Amino acid sequence: MKPQTITRFFDHLVEANPAPETELDYVNDYTLLVAVVLSAQATDAGVNKATKALFQNVRDPAAMLALGEAGLKQHIRTIGLFNAKAANVIALSALLLERHGGEVPRDRASLEALPGVGRKTANVVLNVAFGEETFAVDTHVFRVSNRTGLAPGKTPLAVELKLEKAIPKPYRRHAHHWLILLGRHTCKARKPECWHCPVVNECGYNAKTTA
Ligand code: SF4
């Protein structure tokens, strides 16, 4: 996609939603990290439902360790892969206390060293908690980037590196949220809804749909 087209593409997304935010509920950096870890292969709505009661009492690593793995499982048992996720959340909470004074670290290497935290999770935390211009490529961002021709790539990392290179300054901070929302609500996996898409004139997808 040409630079002028990319600018118009994001201008339309800004118009539709000037300050997009994550749809995950959280109360501080720690609960954001936990919510993102829980959201792997699960919907944000499902995670929010499970964390509503959890985050009322558990808002830091020490409280999570006090709750314990069995207690955590009771809260998150409606979320896919909850056994492995509970083990990871307990282990990462212990590591946050051991290595980072109970705080969420602001650097990628320290984040990715935590159990259950991969590149995508680190990108979300760096972006949402610390305002960094990172590009978390989830299934929606991957699909939209490829379909539209914005940043085609065979792997999430290839797409991320292309987004990193292609997206100009005013849009970098919120780019991944705009792309997630576009993918979630309009450019859907099974059938994109091109007839009401804000970027229909910029998108390079050839088989555009009609209502
Ligand atoms: S025009 Fe269609 S294919 Fe292109 S981004 Fe919009 S919904 Fe997706």
Asked if residue 57 lies in contact with residue 21, where contact means CB atoms within 8 angstroms, the answer is no
How remote is the CA of residue 134 from the centroid of ligand 1, in Å?
Answer: 23
Whole-prediction pTM: 0.92
Decide if pLDDT at 211 tops 90.
no
197: Cα separation from own chain's centroid: 21
Best residue among 181, 196, 199 to mutate for probing ligand 1's pocket (most ligand atoms within 8 Å of CB) is 199
Structure confidence at residue 41 (pLDDT): 86
- As a whole number, the mean pLDDT across the chain is 96
Told to judge if 60 belongs to the known catalytic residues of this protein, a careful annotator would answer no
Atom 8 of ligand 1: nearest residue by CA position: 187
Helix and strand counts by DSSP (H, E) for the chain: 11, 0
Q: What percent of the chain has pLDDT over 70?
A: 100
Structure confidence at residue 11 (pLDDT): 97
Instruction: List binding-site positions for [4Fe-4S] cluster.
Output: 187, 194, 197, 203
Domains and CATH numbers, the chain: 3-20+135-196 (1.10.1670.10), 29-130 (1.10.340.30)
> CB count, 10 Å around CB of 153?
16
Best residue among 186, 191, 202, 209 to mutate for probing ligand 1's pocket (most ligand atoms within 8 Å of CB) is 186
The verdict on the CB of residue 145 being under 6 Å from ligand 1 is no
Told to judge if 120 belongs to the known catalytic residues of this protein, a careful annotator would answer yes
Mind listing the pLDDT tens digit for each residue in 106-131?
999 999 999 999 999 999 999 999 99
Asked if residue 89 lies in contact with residue 116, where contact means CB atoms within 8 angstroms, the answer is yes
How remote is the CA of residue 202 from the centroid of ligand 1, in Å?
Answer: 9
Asked if residue 30 lies in contact with residue 18, where contact means CB atoms within 8 angstroms, the answer is no
Tokens describing residue 78? 């409606």
Asked if residue 195 lies in contact with residue 211, where contact means CB atoms within 8 angstroms, the answer is yes
Decide if pLDDT at 102 tops 90.
yes
The verdict on the CB of residue 193 being under 6 Å from ligand 1 is yes
Mind listing the pLDDT tens digit for each residue in 125-171?
999 999 999 999 999 999 999 999 999 999 999 999 999 999 999 99
Tokens describing residue 36? 């993102």
Asked if residue 111 lies in contact with residue 117, where contact means CB atoms within 8 angstroms, the answer is yes
The verdict on the CB of residue 16 being under 6 Å from ligand 1 is no
